Structure 1
Protein backbone atom coordinates (compact mmCIF):
# COMPACT_ATOMS: atom_id res chain seq x y z
CA UNK A 1 0.00 0.00 0.00
CA UNK A 2 1.37 3.43 -0.98
CA UNK A 3 0.72 5.06 2.39
CA UNK A 4 2.59 2.32 4.26
CA UNK A 5 5.67 2.83 2.11
CA UNK A 6 5.40 6.58 2.55
CA UNK A 7 5.27 6.23 6.36
CA UNK A 8 8.18 3.76 6.32
CA UNK A 9 10.34 6.14 4.27
CA UNK A 10 9.47 8.99 6.62
CA UNK A 11 10.60 6.88 9.59
CA UNK A 12 13.87 6.02 7.86
CA UNK A 13 14.47 9.71 7.15
CA UNK A 14 13.56 10.70 10.69
CA UNK A 15 10.64 12.95 9.81
CA UNK A 16 6.91 12.72 10.47
CA UNK A 17 4.54 12.14 7.52
CA UNK A 18 3.10 15.64 8.03
CA UNK A 19 6.53 17.29 8.14
CA UNK A 20 7.66 15.44 5.02
CA UNK A 21 4.47 16.42 3.18
CA UNK A 22 5.05 20.08 4.06
CA UNK A 23 8.64 19.96 2.79
CA UNK A 24 7.56 18.27 -0.45
CA UNK A 25 4.68 20.70 -0.93
CA UNK A 26 1.76 18.33 -0.33
CA UNK A 27 -1.25 19.29 1.77
CA UNK A 28 -2.26 17.24 4.81
CA UNK A 29 -5.63 16.36 3.27
CA UNK A 30 -3.90 14.46 0.49
CA UNK A 31 -1.89 12.40 2.99
CA UNK A 32 -5.09 11.66 4.90
CA UNK A 33 -6.73 10.47 1.68
CA UNK A 34 -3.85 8.04 1.07
CA UNK A 35 -4.13 6.74 4.63
CA UNK A 36 -7.86 6.05 4.31
CA UNK A 37 -7.53 4.83 0.70
CA UNK A 38 -9.86 7.47 -0.66
CA UNK A 39 -7.54 8.16 -3.59
CA UNK A 40 -3.89 7.94 -4.55
CA UNK A 41 -1.29 10.55 -5.48
CA UNK A 42 -0.91 11.96 -8.97
CA UNK A 43 2.04 11.00 -11.18
CA UNK A 44 3.71 14.35 -10.51
CA UNK A 45 3.26 13.96 -6.74
CA UNK A 46 4.71 10.44 -6.84
CA UNK A 47 7.77 11.79 -8.66
CA UNK A 48 8.22 14.57 -6.08
CA UNK A 49 8.02 12.05 -3.24
CA UNK A 50 10.48 9.73 -5.00
CA UNK A 51 12.95 12.59 -5.45
CA UNK A 52 12.56 13.67 -1.81
CA UNK A 53 13.35 10.20 -0.46
CA UNK A 54 15.80 9.23 -3.19
CA UNK A 55 13.89 6.15 -4.37
CA UNK A 56 12.27 5.14 -7.65
CA UNK A 57 8.63 5.66 -8.51
CA UNK A 58 8.40 1.90 -9.13
CA UNK A 59 9.21 1.28 -5.49
CA UNK A 60 6.60 3.76 -4.29
CA UNK A 61 3.89 2.35 -6.54
CA UNK A 62 4.37 -1.20 -5.35
CA UNK A 63 6.66 -2.66 -7.99
CA UNK A 64 8.41 -4.62 -5.22
CA UNK A 65 11.78 -3.29 -6.22
CA UNK A 66 11.59 -4.75 -9.72
CA UNK A 67 12.07 -3.09 -13.05
CA UNK A 68 9.74 -3.92 -15.91
CA UNK A 69 12.39 -6.31 -17.19
CA UNK A 70 12.37 -8.19 -13.89
CA UNK A 71 15.86 -7.10 -12.91
CA UNK A 72 16.36 -6.18 -9.27
CA UNK A 73 16.34 -2.47 -8.49
CA UNK A 74 18.87 -2.64 -5.67
CA UNK A 75 21.01 0.47 -5.93
CA UNK A 76 18.73 2.18 -8.46
CA UNK A 77 17.56 5.69 -7.58
CA UNK A 78 15.99 8.83 -8.96
CA UNK A 79 18.65 10.86 -10.86
CA UNK A 80 18.14 13.78 -8.46
CA UNK A 81 19.51 11.60 -5.66
CA UNK A 82 22.88 12.01 -7.44
CA UNK A 83 22.25 15.56 -8.67
CA UNK A 84 25.52 17.04 -7.36
CA UNK A 85 27.65 14.26 -8.86
CA UNK A 86 25.80 14.26 -12.21
CA UNK A 87 25.85 18.05 -12.40
CA UNK A 88 29.58 18.38 -11.73
CA UNK A 89 30.35 16.31 -14.85
CA UNK A 90 27.32 16.42 -17.14
CA UNK A 91 29.28 15.33 -20.20
CA UNK A 92 30.38 12.14 -18.49
CA UNK A 93 26.80 11.32 -17.49
CA UNK A 94 25.53 12.10 -21.00
CA UNK A 95 28.00 9.57 -22.41
CA UNK A 96 26.24 6.78 -20.51
CA UNK A 97 22.80 8.30 -21.03
CA UNK A 98 23.21 8.20 -24.81
CA UNK A 99 24.01 4.48 -24.67
CA UNK A 100 20.48 3.91 -23.35
CA UNK A 101 18.64 6.60 -25.37
CA UNK A 102 16.79 5.10 -28.35
CA UNK A 103 15.05 8.20 -29.66
CA UNK A 104 16.15 11.03 -32.00
CA UNK A 105 19.20 12.80 -30.58
CA UNK A 106 17.88 16.20 -31.66
CA UNK A 107 14.87 15.77 -29.35
CA UNK A 108 17.13 16.37 -26.36
CA UNK A 109 18.04 19.89 -27.44
CA UNK A 110 14.70 20.74 -29.06
CA UNK A 111 12.48 19.58 -26.20
CA UNK A 112 14.66 20.23 -23.15
CA UNK A 113 17.25 22.75 -24.27
CA UNK A 114 20.20 20.46 -23.48
CA UNK A 115 22.96 20.33 -26.14
CA UNK A 116 24.17 16.72 -26.21
CA UNK A 117 27.72 17.69 -27.20
CA UNK A 118 27.93 20.38 -24.50
CA UNK A 119 25.30 19.83 -21.77
CA UNK A 120 27.06 22.33 -19.51
CA UNK A 121 25.43 25.09 -21.59
CA UNK A 122 21.99 24.18 -20.24
CA UNK A 123 20.75 25.92 -17.11
CA UNK A 124 20.32 23.90 -13.93
CA UNK A 125 16.55 24.12 -14.38
CA UNK A 126 16.74 22.86 -17.96
CA UNK A 127 19.04 19.99 -17.03
CA UNK A 128 16.91 18.93 -14.06
CA UNK A 129 13.83 19.05 -16.23
CA UNK A 130 15.59 16.91 -18.83
CA UNK A 131 16.59 14.31 -16.20
CA UNK A 132 13.11 14.10 -14.71
CA UNK A 133 11.49 13.74 -18.13
CA UNK A 134 13.84 11.12 -19.57
CA UNK A 135 15.54 9.14 -16.78
CA UNK A 136 13.54 6.58 -14.82
CA UNK A 137 16.41 5.48 -12.56
CA UNK A 138 20.20 5.50 -12.36
CA UNK A 139 22.80 3.35 -10.69
CA UNK A 140 26.42 4.31 -10.04
CA UNK A 141 29.08 1.61 -10.10
CA UNK A 142 31.41 2.51 -7.20
CA UNK A 143 34.31 0.51 -8.65
CA UNK A 144 34.67 2.23 -12.02
CA UNK A 145 32.38 5.27 -11.64
CA UNK A 146 30.24 4.25 -14.60
CA UNK A 147 26.52 5.02 -14.76
CA UNK A 148 23.72 2.61 -15.59
CA UNK A 149 20.67 4.49 -16.89
CA UNK A 150 17.04 3.40 -17.31
CA UNK A 151 15.13 5.59 -19.77
CA UNK A 152 11.49 6.61 -19.38
CA UNK A 153 9.73 5.30 -22.52
CA UNK A 154 8.79 8.42 -24.45
CA UNK A 155 5.40 6.93 -25.28
CA UNK A 156 4.59 7.46 -21.60
CA UNK A 157 3.88 10.81 -20.02
CA UNK A 158 6.96 11.86 -18.12
CA UNK A 159 7.10 14.30 -15.23
CA UNK A 160 6.80 17.98 -16.01
CA UNK A 161 10.32 19.26 -16.80
CA UNK A 162 10.61 21.99 -14.20
CA UNK A 163 12.82 22.35 -11.16
CA UNK A 164 11.73 21.26 -7.68
CA UNK A 165 11.29 24.85 -6.61
CA UNK A 166 8.99 25.61 -9.54
CA UNK A 167 9.57 27.17 -12.95
CA UNK A 168 11.26 30.52 -13.26
CA UNK A 169 9.32 31.04 -16.50
CA UNK A 170 5.66 29.93 -16.16
CA UNK A 171 5.03 30.16 -19.91
CA UNK A 172 7.98 27.90 -20.72
CA UNK A 173 6.91 25.45 -18.00
CA UNK A 174 3.40 25.30 -19.47
CA UNK A 175 4.76 24.68 -22.96
CA UNK A 176 7.05 21.92 -21.70
CA UNK A 177 4.19 20.26 -19.83
CA UNK A 178 2.14 20.22 -23.04
CA UNK A 179 5.08 18.69 -24.94
CA UNK A 180 5.43 15.95 -22.30
CA UNK A 181 1.79 15.04 -22.83
CA UNK A 182 2.16 14.67 -26.60
CA UNK A 183 1.95 11.32 -28.31
CA UNK A 184 5.03 10.17 -30.29
CA UNK A 185 3.35 11.24 -33.55
CA UNK A 186 2.48 14.67 -32.14
CA UNK A 187 6.07 15.11 -30.96
CA UNK A 188 7.34 14.16 -34.43
CA UNK A 189 5.12 16.75 -36.12
CA UNK A 190 6.06 19.36 -33.53
CA UNK A 191 9.77 18.79 -34.13
CA UNK A 192 9.34 18.91 -37.90
CA UNK A 193 7.59 22.27 -37.63
CA UNK A 194 10.22 23.54 -35.20
CA UNK A 195 13.07 22.54 -37.53
CA UNK A 196 11.33 24.26 -40.46
CA UNK A 197 10.81 27.43 -38.42
CA UNK A 198 14.45 27.54 -37.31
CA UNK A 199 15.64 26.99 -40.89
CA UNK A 200 13.51 29.88 -42.11
CA UNK A 201 14.80 32.10 -39.29
CA UNK A 202 18.39 31.23 -40.20
CA UNK A 203 17.64 32.23 -43.79
CA UNK A 204 15.99 35.48 -42.70
CA UNK A 205 12.63 34.40 -44.06
CA UNK A 206 9.21 34.42 -42.48
CA UNK A 207 6.95 31.33 -42.46
CA UNK A 208 3.95 31.35 -44.79
CA UNK A 209 0.84 31.33 -42.63
CA UNK A 210 -2.24 30.25 -44.51
CA UNK A 211 -5.54 31.61 -43.32
Structure 2
Protein backbone atom coordinates (compact mmCIF):
# COMPACT_ATOMS: atom_id res chain seq x y z
CA UNK A 1 0.00 0.00 0.00
CA UNK A 2 2.90 2.37 0.78
CA UNK A 3 4.27 2.08 -2.76
CA UNK A 4 0.88 2.89 -4.30
CA UNK A 5 0.25 5.85 -2.02
CA UNK A 6 3.72 7.27 -2.57
CA UNK A 7 3.32 7.10 -6.33
CA UNK A 8 -0.19 8.56 -6.17
CA UNK A 9 0.92 11.50 -4.05
CA UNK A 10 3.87 12.20 -6.31
CA UNK A 11 1.68 12.18 -9.40
CA UNK A 12 -0.97 14.37 -7.75
CA UNK A 13 1.78 16.87 -7.00
CA UNK A 14 2.88 16.74 -10.64
CA UNK A 15 6.40 15.66 -9.73
CA UNK A 16 8.81 13.19 -11.28
CA UNK A 17 10.69 10.50 -9.42
CA UNK A 18 13.89 12.39 -10.17
CA UNK A 19 12.59 15.66 -8.73
CA UNK A 20 11.51 13.90 -5.52
CA UNK A 21 14.84 12.07 -5.27
CA UNK A 22 16.72 15.32 -5.79
CA UNK A 23 14.62 17.11 -3.18
CA UNK A 24 15.35 14.41 -0.59
CA UNK A 25 18.96 14.01 -1.68
CA UNK A 26 18.56 10.33 -2.52
CA UNK A 27 19.26 8.37 -5.68
CA UNK A 28 16.41 8.08 -8.18
CA UNK A 29 16.74 4.25 -8.43
CA UNK A 30 16.30 4.03 -4.65
CA UNK A 31 13.14 6.11 -4.83
CA UNK A 32 11.92 4.01 -7.76
CA UNK A 33 12.32 0.85 -5.68
CA UNK A 34 10.09 2.38 -3.00
CA UNK A 35 7.37 3.12 -5.55
CA UNK A 36 7.69 -0.42 -6.91
CA UNK A 37 7.37 -1.89 -3.42
CA UNK A 38 10.77 -3.56 -3.62
CA UNK A 39 12.13 -1.64 -0.64
CA UNK A 40 10.83 0.60 2.08
CA UNK A 41 12.28 3.83 3.42
CA UNK A 42 13.62 4.33 6.91
CA UNK A 43 11.26 5.68 9.56
CA UNK A 44 12.97 9.06 9.27
CA UNK A 45 12.44 9.18 5.50
CA UNK A 46 8.84 8.05 5.93
CA UNK A 47 8.29 11.00 8.28
CA UNK A 48 9.91 13.34 5.76
CA UNK A 49 7.60 12.08 2.99
CA UNK A 50 4.56 12.51 5.22
CA UNK A 51 5.59 16.07 6.01
CA UNK A 52 6.41 16.85 2.38
CA UNK A 53 3.06 15.56 1.07
CA UNK A 54 1.15 16.86 4.11
CA UNK A 55 -0.26 13.47 5.05
CA UNK A 56 0.02 11.22 8.08
CA UNK A 57 2.41 8.30 8.15
CA UNK A 58 -0.65 6.09 8.74
CA UNK A 59 -2.05 7.30 5.42
CA UNK A 60 1.25 6.62 3.63
CA UNK A 61 1.44 3.12 5.07
CA UNK A 62 -2.17 2.34 4.21
CA UNK A 63 -3.31 2.12 7.83
CA UNK A 64 -5.81 4.94 7.28
CA UNK A 65 -7.66 6.52 4.39
CA UNK A 66 -7.60 9.91 6.11
CA UNK A 67 -4.72 11.90 4.70
CA UNK A 68 -4.16 14.16 7.69
CA UNK A 69 -6.68 13.93 10.53
CA UNK A 70 -5.24 16.91 12.41
CA UNK A 71 -5.43 19.39 9.57
CA UNK A 72 -8.11 21.70 8.35
CA UNK A 73 -9.50 20.85 4.95
CA UNK A 74 -6.88 21.11 2.23
CA UNK A 75 -8.43 22.91 -0.70
CA UNK A 76 -6.04 21.42 -3.23
CA UNK A 77 -7.16 17.93 -2.17
CA UNK A 78 -10.76 19.07 -2.47
CA UNK A 79 -10.15 20.36 -5.97
CA UNK A 80 -8.43 17.14 -7.08
CA UNK A 81 -11.22 15.04 -5.60
CA UNK A 82 -13.88 17.18 -7.25
CA UNK A 83 -12.19 17.06 -10.67
CA UNK A 84 -11.67 13.30 -10.55
CA UNK A 85 -15.16 12.59 -9.25
CA UNK A 86 -17.06 14.94 -11.56
CA UNK A 87 -15.67 13.58 -14.82
CA UNK A 88 -18.45 12.21 -16.99
CA UNK A 89 -21.28 13.55 -14.85
CA UNK A 90 -24.14 15.53 -16.29
CA UNK A 91 -24.47 19.22 -15.38
CA UNK A 92 -27.18 18.38 -12.83
CA UNK A 93 -25.07 15.60 -11.30
CA UNK A 94 -22.06 17.93 -11.09
CA UNK A 95 -24.19 20.58 -9.38
CA UNK A 96 -25.46 18.03 -6.85
CA UNK A 97 -21.94 16.75 -6.23
CA UNK A 98 -20.77 20.29 -5.57
CA UNK A 99 -23.61 20.84 -3.08
CA UNK A 100 -22.89 17.53 -1.33
CA UNK A 101 -19.17 18.28 -1.07
CA UNK A 102 -19.76 21.79 0.26
CA UNK A 103 -22.14 20.42 2.90
CA UNK A 104 -19.59 17.79 3.88
CA UNK A 105 -16.85 20.40 4.18
CA UNK A 106 -19.02 22.61 6.36
CA UNK A 107 -19.81 19.69 8.68
CA UNK A 108 -16.16 18.66 8.79
CA UNK A 109 -15.12 22.19 9.71
CA UNK A 110 -17.60 22.14 12.61
CA UNK A 111 -16.00 18.93 13.92
CA UNK A 112 -12.53 20.47 13.67
CA UNK A 113 -13.65 23.59 15.53
CA UNK A 114 -15.26 21.50 18.27
CA UNK A 115 -12.01 19.55 18.72
CA UNK A 116 -10.05 22.78 18.93
CA UNK A 117 -12.43 24.15 21.56
CA UNK A 118 -12.15 20.93 23.55
CA UNK A 119 -8.34 21.07 23.41
CA UNK A 120 -8.39 24.70 24.52
CA UNK A 121 -10.68 23.98 27.45
CA UNK A 122 -8.52 21.00 28.46
CA UNK A 123 -5.46 23.27 28.55
CA UNK A 124 -7.29 25.76 30.76
CA UNK A 125 -8.30 23.06 33.26
Report the TM-score, using the length of structure 1 for normalisation: 0.32
1:37 alignment counterpart: 37
Query: Of the two structures, which has the highest relative contact order with CA contacts closer than 8 Å and spacing of 6 or more?
Result: 2
Q: Does 1:18 align with 2:11?
A: no
Shift in alpha-carbon separation, 1:20–1:148, aligned structure 2, 3 A? farther
2:88 alignment counterpart: none
Query: Which is richer in helix?
Result: 2
Deviation of 1:20 after TM superposition, in Å, equals 1.9
Worse-superposed segment, 2-11 or 31-40 = 31-40
Q: Does 1:28 align with 2:21?
A: no
Gap regions ≥5 residues in structure 2: 75-108, 120-125
Map Cα deviations across residues 15-73 of structure 1 (whole Å, 9 max, x no partner). 122212321333212212224433211110100000000000000011132xxxxxxx4
Aligned length: 83
* Alignment match of 1:76 (pick from 69, 77, 81): 69
Gap regions ≥5 residues in structure 1: 66-72, 82-138, 150-211
Query: Which is richer in strand?
Result: 1
User: How many angstroms apart in 2 are the aligned matches of 1:148 and 1:30?
Assistant: 43
User: How many angstroms apart in 2 are the aligned matches of 1:45 and 1:140?
Assistant: 33
Q: What SS class does the counterpart of residue 146 from structure 1 fall into?
A: helix
Cα contact 1:21–1:31 (8 A) shared by 2: yes
Deviation of 1:143 after TM superposition, in Å, equals 4.4
User: How many angstroms apart in 1 are the aligned matches of 2:38 and 2:30?
Assistant: 9
Cα contact 1:24–1:52 (8 A) shared by 2: no
Q: Does 1:146 align with 2:116?
A: yes
Shift in alpha-carbon separation, 1:77–1:3, aligned structure 2, 3 A? farther
Map Cα deviations across residues 179-198 of structure 1 (whole Å, 9 max, x no partner). xxxxxxxxxxxxxxxxxxxx
